[in-house]
Every structure is written in structure tokens, then in C-alpha cells.
Structure 1
Amino acid sequence: MSRDDAGLSVIVAGGGTAGHIEPAMAVADALRRLDPSVRVTALGTARGLETTLVPERGYPLELIPPVPLPRKPTMDLARLPRRVRDSVRATRDVIERTDADVIVGFGGYVALPAYLAAGKGATRRRRLVPIVVHEANAKAGIANKIGARRAARVLAAVPGSGIHAPGMPDAEVIGIPVRSSITGLDREAFRGGARAHFGLPPDGPVLLVFGGSQGAQSLNKAVSGAAAELAAAGISVLHAHGPKNSVELPETTDRAPYVALPYLSRMDLAYAASDLAICRSGAMTVAEVSAVGMPAVYVPLPHGNGEQELNAKPVVAQGGGTIVADADLTPEFVVNTVIPMLRDQQKLKQMGAAAADAGHRDAAIEVARIVLEVARG
């Protein structure tokens, strides 16, 4: 088979966490929709979630040594140059085997060696492999800042991320790529079946609670602590508490059950079944929740560099949700603020419409189009 017959070859570099992997997989799906002849290869490490998520989506996965960037001067910092060299060398081998035309990176441990390897021109054709950089967070990470220095295109989820190509004031704001099962979700059409799937009643408000793949103790305590009041108000709860956590609940009724699960594998059905979410405000969470038009109470992580609050601010500014500090999320807050919100269906509809307007439902297709343009460039 000639190279032209084989189609373009794209490497997506977004391993480690779901926040890096999910946008990469959404773009991979969009590339196949735009051009079925495209060959997509995912780059990852043996210790990331990509070892499970990528094969489930049907894409080949190439593993390279991870390059964690130490935040403090430790022995790991002394080992960094050797780790970088080993990982870049392994990535060059992948570039050569796949005959890559373009690399699209989403930050994290995998992206940095991909950017460095692409810039070495160390392939059989002795050329630089062009790269496209996408930054999902409100504050750009180190890997993407390095990649942006020689990227053909630099993309971001929100304005002011601090990432840009040389000579450009800022990145192109394009949103976060989200999988089509979410962006194409008709919540109203799927509501009945989604509620039946989780054992929820067909009528009455439903509160969705989730704190990421591992759950969040503060969310768990606050909402479960108001379980009796939620049931008395006729509000059902669908709560993903995390695989290592549990919640203590009073007896619930069939009219307003409290459904507590370790993990939600069908987030599309969870969104369709629910009227309001209480959740963290990681970049991917905000992107999905707004894409489906779900009003939300965002509870940013209380530590870090404050990027989770920045992620939610554009949606909140549009009227699609509200932000509450982690320390202020208590059972009393749920009773005094969340229950009245769920009782006001008209307000929820307005917030849902505002959330949808703030989202970027076509981001995956737009990123895929840009990747193909660069590859053919």
C-alpha cells in the first residue's frame, strides 16, 4: 500500500488523566468522521488511564516512558534530562513507525516528549513534523507552553490561558473537544429511558452529584447530609461518590430515591436523567455539563492554582450556573439554596439555555479540521 493510499497519519498525545485523554479521543473520533482514511495513533504511558480508555475507543496505543515534571528540587529533577532523552527517543520511533503527518497535543506527561520529538526532524524523511497544541485549562501547563513555541496552530478552551505561538497575542479560542455522545445528546428525548436505567422515578426533579472519577468527600458529605430534606422535598438524587468512598443514607422512598453509585459509566444517561448538577469544575467537566445545557453548582477544588474556578467563570457569567467555595458547600447550603433551585423549573430552563450558549458543542470537529489542514499544509 502506498502512503497516499494509507491516508494521513495523526498522533494524538493526551495521556495521564481523563482531562487529557477525553479531548484527544473526541478529536480522534472527529477526524474519522471527517476523513475515514485517516490513521490515528494515541501516545500514552503505562501508568495512565489511557491504557484502558484508548483501547475501549478502538484506537492503537503506543506507550512511551513518562516524563513527570518535578515541582520541587528533588532527585527526580536530577533524573529529568535522562528521562526526557529516553522518552523523546521512544516517541521518535513511534513517529517513524506511523509515518506521522501531524501531532496534536493536549498537555501532560505525554505531550512534552511528543513536542520535542516532532521538532527534531529525526524521521526517515528528515523533516519536522508539524504540531497542533490544545490547552483545555484556564491556565496553560508547562508542556503546552513549550509546545506552543513551534506549533503550527495553538488552540485554547477559554481566553487568557497564557498560551500562544510566537508573534501571536494569544491562542485561538475554540472550546474543549467533547465526544459526540455528549454533544449530540437530546436530554428531553432520553429522559424517560435514562431515569429507568438508574431506577429513578419518571417525574419530579433529580439532582446529579459527582466529583470526578474518584469522587469528592466534601460533595459526598454535604449532599448525603441533606438526604432527608431532599426526599421530603420530592427531589431524587443520582450520586457518584467514587470507588473508594461511600455515603451513609437514611431510608429513602420510591417517590424520591437517593441512588448512590461508586462510578457513572454512562454520563450521557446521567445528564439526561437530571435537572441540576453539583460537581467540581475541572475543564472537561465544565465542557460536558455546559455542552448538554445542564445548569450546575460548581465547587472548585480548594487547592491548586485556582484554575478550576476560572474554568467555570465563563459559564457562570452567562447565567448557566453558580460557584460555591468548597468550605461553603454544607448540608445547610443544599437545603437553603439547592432545593429552592430545583423547585424553580422555569429558572432551571433559563440556566440550562445559558449553559448551552456558553458551551462549544462543535469544538471536536473544529479541532479536527485544523489538524487536517496542518497535516495537508
Structure 2
Amino acid sequence: MKDQEKPLRIVLSGGGTGGHIYPALALAETIKQCSPDTKFLYIGSKRGLEKNIVPKFGYAFESLRIQGLKRSLSLDNIKTVYYLMTSIGKAKKMLKEFAPDVVIGTGGYVCAPVLYAAHLLNIPTIIHEQNSVAGVTNKLLSRFVDRICISFDDVRKDFAGQENKIVMTGNPRGQQVVTYLKEHPITSKSGVEVVIFGGSRGSEVINQAFVDAFDGLSDKPYHVTMISGAILYDDLLKALNGKKAKNITIVPYVDNMPELFAITDFVVCRSGATTLTELTALGLASLLIPSPYVTHNHQEANALSLVHQGAAEMILQKDLTGDAMVTVIDRYALDQTKRQKMAEEARKMGITNASNRIISIINDVL
């Protein structure tokens, strides 16, 4: 960071999902390592996950009431406009009191009033887009911010007219997981490890495909760790009806995914931006099953960015079966050459210094 007489003051904003929250926290972690005296304020929404997650990391937290527009005509949209206008005023007050040097938004509706208020106050602003399809909020804010950080080249088209602001940085989560593994190296590993999961809360569809695939996965010369999601764990065990296999372990949740990924050879998962950042940063071969229930189908677009480079395979959810899952897992778990080739292509796409790149941008806009 630039030498300053006073500690740098940074406002972070991002909310709704972990995909917006954790990149902001990963960036803050790296900035603190570089400049321990940096002061942070995180502005989130009253109803988002960030209100519970951020304080656990020790950062000051303020909240605004905000919600997204409905796609159909709705009285709720009148409330949305009202919340937006009042939140801009509240955000301006928060920013004046905290007096940040820079404001950084990582996506979600709450970023709109915070970043726009910073623009009105002539405070330098940066947004970060994690996906290969830009979120509505970031698209709207792109006209008002100083820099636009991206993780996928494909998203450039969504910021037409703002090309001079765009910088490819990658996702700070990638640098975080690589740094973690350097600090906590795995000293031993036995056999090929396959990990299947459907996100932090699990996926009923992926869990059912695993149930259908169980017999086909049993007694293979590789180990499978199935992460069901905490709320779906009992249902999964019930669906298996007592079936067990020596090479299959079923757990409800894993607190430290980087530690598990360190011994993993092949992954079956959704294609959220944070997950793909981890896979590419660590160079892991994967089968991606995009969730069709996300805005603008961005998970499929994310997955295709890897598929087109030979860095992953993809099965659409509508085509997912137990047999299809087993076929792809066998293809890579049983063939080291194919697996290593895919892993190398994934590694080529990984950016493992995203936070450092964003720090350079912060220095540039100050």
C-alpha cells in the first residue's frame, strides 16, 4: 500500500450470498497483512448473510435496508425504490462519519446505494465482478465507479462503454486458498480422492444423483467424500437405506474446504464463482453441474468458461443421472493422464494474486 501518515480507511460492501461476501473478506485479510493499521467498515444489508458473517471476522459492520426489483409489476418495487433513495442518504451519512479513502463493492443490491453515495461524495470507488455474467447492480454502477475488477474475460461485454475502467484481477478467494495451503502444507496423501458437493447448503439434485450412483461408485480404487449439506444429511442417509462402502465417506459439512481440496484429485460440484476460483487456483480437475436457478443462468456461463479451455467437464442439471456421474468420475479418477491434463488447464486459468492486483488498483485510484 502507499505510504501514508494516517492509516488507510476502506469501506467494503457486498451482500446477499457468500459469493459476494467472502471475496471482500479475503481482500481485507491480504490488505491487513500488508498494512496492519488499515481501518475497515463493512456496509451490508439488514437481511443478508453478511450481517452474521462479517462481525465474526472482527470488522465494524453497518447495515442498510435494501431489496431487489421484482421482474413483474409489483407494489414491492415501490418499496424497493423508496429503500434505495433512503439508503443513499443513510450511506452518505455513514461515509462522511467514517471518511474512507476508497470504497470497494463486491456485488449484491446493497452495493448500489453505498457505491453511488461514494460517487456523489467524490470518494474513489472500485467494484469487483466475480462471475462471467455481470450482476445487475455492478452493471448499473459501472458508469459511476473508477475501476471495474473482473474474474472472467467473458464479462467484459457486459460493461460496454466502460472498457477503459476494466482490469482483470481474478477473485481474491483464489489467493487466500493458495496462501492457506502454503502456510498449512499437507505432508502425506494416499490414493485418488474424489469430492462431491452441492454448495455450502448442499443440493437435493446432486445428492439424489449420488444415491443413484452409489452402487457404481462402491469398491472403486479411489475414495469418495460426499458432502451432503447439513440440512440434507439425514435425508441422504435415509435415501441410501443403510448402504455403505469402504471407499465412500458421507459428511454433512466441511468447515475447511481448502484443507480438503489439498488432498483432492477430482471434484463434482456446482459452478459458483468462488468454487471455480478455488478449483483454478489450486489446479483441480472437475465435473461441473451448474445450478439453473441463478440470475441470468450465470453458473452455466461460468462453467463454460472452463469447459471451453478443457479445464472441466459439464453436465446440465436436466441431464444429470447417477450413471452419467459415475461415467465422468471414472474417466478422470481412473486415468491419471487425463486428470492431470485437465488439472493443468484449470491451473492455467487460475489467478493466485488477485488481492495484490486489487491493492495496486487501490493505490492507483488514491
For the criterion TM > 0.5, the same-fold answer is yes
Structure 2: any 5+ residue segments left out of the alignment?
none
The separation in 2 between residues aligned to 1:56 and 1:160, in whole angstroms, is: 34
Shift of 1:169: 6.3
The alignment partner of 2:207 has SS state of: helix
Distance in 1 of aligned mates of 2:305 and 2:126? 24
| Equivalent in the alignment of 1:321 | 312
The structure whose residues are more often helix, as a share, is 2
Secondary structure of the corresponding residue to residue 225 of structure 1? helix
Task: Report how far residue 165 of structure 1 moved.
Answer: 7.6
User: Per-residue deviation at 1:325?
Assistant: 1.0
Residue aligning to 1:190: 186
Aligned to 1:312: 303
Q: Rate the CA distance shift 1:92–1:322 in 2: closer, same or farther, 3 A.
A: same
Cα 1:42–1:155, aligned 2, differ >3 Å: closer, same or farther?
Answer: same
CA change 1:102–1:308 in 2 (3 A) is same
Q: Describe the SS at the equivalent of 2:153.
A: coil
Report the counterpart of residue 363 of structure 2 in structure 1. Answer: 372
* Cα RMSD, aligned residues only: 2.2
The C-alpha deviation readout for 1:213-271, integer Å capped at 9, x for no partner, is: 221111111123222321221332212212221313354344x1x22222221111221
Shifted more, 169-178 versus 280-289: the winner is 169-178
1:332 maps onto 2:323 in alignment: yes
Aligned length: 355
Task: Report how far residue 353 of structure 1 moved.
Answer: 1.7
Aligned to 1:115: 115
Q: 1:252 to 1:206 in 2, by over 3 A?
A: farther
- Post-superposition offset of 1:306: 2.6
Selected match of 1:217 from 200, 204, 208: 204
Q: What is the one-letter code of the residue matched to 2:273?
A: A
**Equivalent residues of 1:25, 1:179 under 8 A apart:** no
**Which residue of 2 is the match for residue 234 of structure 1?**
221
Conserved 8 A contact 1:187-1:273? no
- Work out whether residues 164 and 170 of structure 1, in 8 Å CA contact, stay in contact via their aligned partners in 2: no
Question: Residue in 1 aligned with 2:336?
Answer: 345
2:350 alignment partner in structure 1: 359
Using structure 2 for the length normalisation, give the TM-score.
Answer: 0.90
User: Are 2:269 and 1:273 aligned?
Assistant: no
Check whether the contact 2:66–2:80 (CA below 8 A) recurs between aligned residues: no
The CA distance in 2 between the partners of 1:171 and 1:139, in whole Å, is 14
Alignment check: 8 A CA contact 1:144 1:163 kept: no
* Alpha-carbon distance between aligned partners in 1 of 2:178 and 2:15, rounded to the nearest angstrom: 22
2:275 is the counterpart of 1:285: yes
Structure-2 change in CA distance of 1:312 and 1:223 (3 Å) = same
For residues 232 and 45 of structure 1, the distance between their equivalents in structure 2, rounded to whole angstroms, comes to 48
2:167 is the counterpart of 1:177 = no
Measure how far apart 1:317 and its partner are: 2.5
Give the Cα separation in 2 of the matches to 1:191 and 1:219. 31
Measure the CA separation in 2 of the matches of 1:137 and 1:232.
38
Shift of 1:107: 1.5
Q: Following the alignment from structure 2 to structure 1, what is the Cα–Cα distance between the partners of residues 21 and 125?
A: 17
**Mapped partners of 1:130, 1:166: distance in 2:** 19
Q: Is the 8 A contact 1:208 1:238 kept in 2?
A: yes
Separation in 2, partners of 1:271, 1:180: 14
Task: Mark the runs of 5 or more structure 1 residues left unpaired by the alignment.
Answer: 122-127, 193-201
- Distance apart, 1:117 and its partner CA: 1.1
Pick one of 300, 309, 313 that aligns with 2:290.
Answer: 300
- 1:261 to 2:256 alignment: no
Alpha-carbon separation, structure 2, partners of 1:221 and 1:239? 12
**Does the CA-based 8 Å contact 1:187-1:292 persist in structure 2?**
no
| % identical equivalent positions | 28
- 1:167 deviates by 5.2
In 1, Cα distance between the equivalents of 2:142 and 2:293? 27
Q: Does the Cα contact within 8 Å between 2:171 and 2:274 map onto a contact in 1?
A: yes
Contact 1:148–1:154 (8 Å) recurs in 2: yes
What's the CA shift for 1:134? 1.2
Look up the equivalent residue of 1:301 and give its one-letter code: S
1:148 equivalent to 2:139? Answer no
Alignment of 1:101-112 (within 5 A): 101-112=101-112
Specify the SS of the correspondent of 2:231.
Answer: coil
User: Helix, strand or coil for the counterpart of 1:232?
Assistant: coil
Report what 2:94 is aligned to.
94
2:151 counterpart residue number: 157
